[in-house]
Homo-oligomer: A and B are copies of this chain.
Amino acid sequence: MNKAKCFAPASVSNVACGFDIMGFAIENLGVETELELSDKGELNLVETVGINQSLPKEIDKNITLAAVKHILNEKKIDVGLNIKINFKMPISSGLGSSAAAAVSAVCCANKLFNLNLSDKELLNYSLKGEYIASKSIHADNVAPSLFGGFILIRGYDPIDIIKIPYPENFYCILFYNNIEIKTWHARKILKQEISLKDAVKQWGNAAGLIAGMFLKDFGIIKRSLIDHIIEKERAILIPYFYELKNAALEAGALGASISGSGPTIFAVSDSEKKCEDIKTAFENEAKKRNLDYKIFITKINSKGATFLE
């Protein structure tokens, strides 16, 4: 084997009431990475597809390169590699593109060098790759992208990942507003002190959402998909956030909030038919506001990262 190609899915993190502790992988969107052995003895980013901007070429600033380099160092593998990245999703969008880039790179290296990494190692290498290049850790994107499904990160010290079951007809409608939000900025604006009263509501909903997922009870899921803490602070970064959110809710969405740190807005539905209604509602609102947007209708991706060839 002289090359490997892997796909890692995009993901919706925070999920309204689960700031920093919940995320789910989504179908169709994600990052495809290919590593091919080369004679040049270096890591060469030879192709980037799917995005308009160029990625940094410095190893410690590019997530893919950083993730691959870190594994090569750890495993004492001395090779040259040609690297291709295909972004089948928008970046800086709140959909976990950095996490998907790191995960797909790590899974490629795992295959190409027959490393047989455990789930825990795959997770840690992915987190480390993202950390080296971005100086932040998004386990609530990395874990869903790697393992698929709906993931609860119970705690970070050490990372404690719990796979949560989910109803088959859990649909997700994504409204991507073509503006860029830097995660560090969306994090910096958050108040570091919150009221106990709001916190009690939030942990009621976080616990409620988990119960709703186990019970496959969309009534409970709907009542739990409310964010009392983060959304109101980040909404100001997203033009017409409340107009778009309300349009989705009025069209029948069970809940809607900011995906990750935005700008993407996600809405949840339990029927394919209603997804179309919600899409139309988003479109009408976006046209009224002259927004540059994309809408994706998707479901929870159960597989996580996959080896393609």
Contacts and interface: CB of A to CB of B under 8 A. Distances in A.
Given A19-B200, A202-B203, A152 B192 contact: no
Contacts of A156: 204
Interface string A185-212: 0000011111111011111111111110
A223 interface: yes
A20 interface: yes
B192 A223 contact: no
A193 B194 CA distance: 5
Interface in A273-296: none
A229 interface: yes
Interface in A113-170: 152-156, 160, 162, 164
A307 interface: no
Interface in A217-261: 220, 223-224, 229
A288 to B, nearest CB: 33
Contacts of A206: 203-204, 206-207
B192 A195 contact: yes
B152 A207 contact: yes
A22 interface: yes
Contact of A204 (B21, B191, B194, B204): B21
Interface in A18-64: 18-22
Contact of A208 (B19, B152, B190): B152
Interface of A: 17-22, 152-156, 160, 162, 164, 190-197, 199-211, 214-215, 220, 223-224, 229
17 contacts: A22-B207, A152-B207, A152-B211, A154-B204, A154-B205, A154-B220, A154-B224, A155-B201, A156-B204, A162-B215, A191-B196, A194-B196, A199-B199, A199-B202, A199-B229, A203-B207, A207-B209
The list of the 3 closest CB pairs from A to B, nearest first, reads A154-B208, A203-B203, A203-B206
